């Protein structure tokens, strides 16, 4: 399918080197924050070898007509300390958000720095939790489940109209109906399948966007790969966009500390925090019962259990990482084999459907903000293994790791590594490291 490939071509190779700006480009945009100066953020992005940013563009808030006074939103955090050492939730806020103006500024800056933008929505996930009132969150919840995908698609179509009117639509790489459609409340689940239940609502949403904007590729992103069910996915998507979070040893740690992840439910425990987690906590950790967001609706709007916030906010980063390093050898091979299987499955799926494949997020899993397992030697090795496997399989776009972005610590500590590996992506040349293949 040539049209999507042409539309997603920055530079000369057509390869997307993706950094995940998600909703943080507007929730961490106050004075001194990573996205306060979009030109600086884009300059740093290009300097590190990226050419594509992936964002929540707030379509439902700005263009659905269902949220009263969308221009009056104020950004705020979940609480004074709540979420401040949890990735993506370390939001201070305290400033107004004129979303349409911010969107224009984003695309104008992208144009100045010759970058593409993957347009998505996290609104049926975390985005509304950072507003000063629950109006946005309630408006989303008020849409009947079967109608939500079309409601977001209609808003996205209006957003693309808006960008077209401003002469900015050429900088859209492609548009996603929503982030991780299998891991949010966009489509009601059937309780039996991982993908088949998505068909009707997403079929209609994709067709709506394609009819309104036939020149812009349309897709949806998947949060968890299920190779045995991949053929159940709705037809019509013009990009095979998947996320690979392997967990492995991290999943074992989650189970040990009494947490779930993705579709993996939290284990039943006699007490919580578990003894293992209690031994990892900082000495100043408050009692779990006392640790709450400022307003209960904010927790519901995140879709994240309070237990995860407590663990990520109050764990000692060195103790967390030490457990992972000590236990990684027993999981190493299985993690690589799982990742290799996912890459190969998605590549074959894309080949059969005649569309490009993109890895939009990855690669180990959700780690506390100040930990370094995914950013240091082991995590980098896993990330490079995935990058090289994706390139060998013909993926058109790849993310290094979801943590390689301006709002994560590694942005400032690992720029050279990002440049080196992104050069492989944009030149489409897998690396020559030993141990790159699953054995």
CATH value at residue 76: 3.20.20.80
Q: Is 188 helix (H, G, I), strand (E, B) or coil?
A: coil
183: in domain: yes
104: in domain: yes
**Starting from the edge strand earliest in sequence, which strands make up the sheet with 218-219, in order?**
218-219, 172-176, 116-120, 52-56, 16-22, 397-399, 357-363, 240-245, 221-222
Q: How far apart are CA 360 and CA 126, in angstroms?
A: 18
433: in domain: no
The token pair at 262 is 């993705």
Distances 88 to 20, 101, 130, 292, 409 between C-alpha atoms, Å: 11, 23, 11, 17, 12
pLDDT score, position 45: 99
State the total domains in the chain: 1
439: in domain: no
* Helix boundaries (H) for 90-147: 99-112, 135-142
Q: How far apart are CA 413 and CA 407, in angstroms?
A: 12
Q: For the CA atoms of the chain, what is the radius of gyration?
A: 20
Q: What is the pLDDT along the chain (439 residues), one digit of tens a residue?
A: 333 333 333 333 489 999 999 999 999 999 999 999 999 999 999 999 999 999 999 999 999 999 999 999 999 999 999 999 999 999 999 999 999 999 999 999 999 999 999 999 999 999 999 999 999 999 999 999 999 999 999 999 999 999 999 999 999 999 999 999 999 999 999 888 999 999 999 999 999 999 999 999 999 999 999 999 999 999 999 999 999 999 999 999 999 999 999 888 999 999 999 999 999 999 999 999 999 999 999 999 999 999 999 999 999 999 999 999 999 999 999 999 999 999 999 999 999 999 999 999 999 999 999 999 999 999 999 999 999 999 999 999 999 999 999 999 999 999 999 999 999 999 987 764 433 333 2
28: in domain: yes
322: in domain: yes
287: in domain: yes
436: in domain: no
Expressed as residue numbers, the domain containing 205 is 2-427
Q: Is 93 helix (H, G, I), strand (E, B) or coil?
A: strand
pLDDT score, position 430: 73
The token pair at 281 is 């906590």
């Amino acid at each position: 399918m040539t049209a999507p490939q042409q539309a997603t071509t920055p530079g000369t190779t057509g390869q997307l080197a993706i950094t995940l700006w998600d909703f943080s480009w507007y929730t961490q945009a106050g004075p001194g924050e990573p996205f306060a100066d979009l030109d600086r953020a884009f300059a740093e992005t290009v300097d590190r070898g990226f050419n594509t940013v992936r964002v929540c563009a707030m379509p439902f808030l700005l263009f659905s007509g269902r949220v009263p006074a969308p221009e009056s939103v104020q950004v705020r955090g979940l609480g004074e300390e709540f979420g401040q050492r949890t990735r993506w939730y370390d939001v201070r806020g305290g400033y107004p958000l004129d979303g349409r103006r911010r969107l224009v500024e984003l695309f104008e800056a992208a144009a100045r720095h010759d970058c593409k933008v993957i347009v998505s929505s996290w609104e049926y996930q975390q985005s509304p939790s950072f507003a000063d009132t629950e109006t946005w969150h309630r408006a989303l919840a008020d849409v009947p489940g079967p109608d939500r995908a079309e409601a977001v698609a209609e808003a996205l179509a209006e957003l693309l109209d808006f960008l077209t009117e401003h002469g900015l639509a050429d900088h859209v790489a492609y548009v996603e109906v929503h982030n991780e459609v299998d891991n949010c409340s966009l489509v009601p689940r059937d309780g039996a399948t991982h993908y088949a239940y998505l068909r009707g609502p997403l079929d209609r949403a994709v067709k709506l966007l394609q009819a309104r904007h036939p020149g812009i590729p349309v897709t949806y992103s998947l949060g968890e790969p299920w190779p045995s069910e991949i053929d159940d996915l709705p037809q019509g998507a013009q990009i095979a966009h998947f996320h690979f979070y392997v967990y492995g040893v991290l999943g074992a740690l989650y189970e040990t500390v009494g947490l779930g992840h993705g579709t993996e439910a939290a284990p039943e425990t006699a007490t919580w925090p578990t003894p293992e987690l209690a031994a990892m906590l900082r000495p100043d950790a408050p009692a779990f019962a006392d640790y709450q967001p400022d307003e209960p609706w904010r927790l519901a709007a995140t879709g994240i259990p309070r237990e995860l916030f407590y663990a990520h906010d109050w764990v000692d980063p060195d103790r967390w990482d030490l457990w992972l390093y000590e236990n990684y050898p027993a999981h190493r091979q299985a993690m690589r084999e799982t990742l290799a299987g996912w890459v190969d499955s998605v590549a074959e799926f894309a080949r059969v459907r005649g569309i490009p494949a993109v890895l939009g997020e990855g690669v180990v899993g959700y780690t506390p903000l100040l930990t370094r397992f995914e950013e240091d030697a082991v995590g980098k090795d896993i990330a490079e293994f995935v990058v090289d496997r994706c390139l060998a399989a013909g993926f058109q776009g790849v993310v290094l790791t979801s943590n390689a972005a301006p709002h994560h610590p590694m942005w400032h500590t690992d720029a050279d590594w990002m440049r080196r590996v992104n050069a492989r992506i944009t030149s489409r040349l897998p690396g020559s490291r030993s141990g790159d293949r699953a054995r």
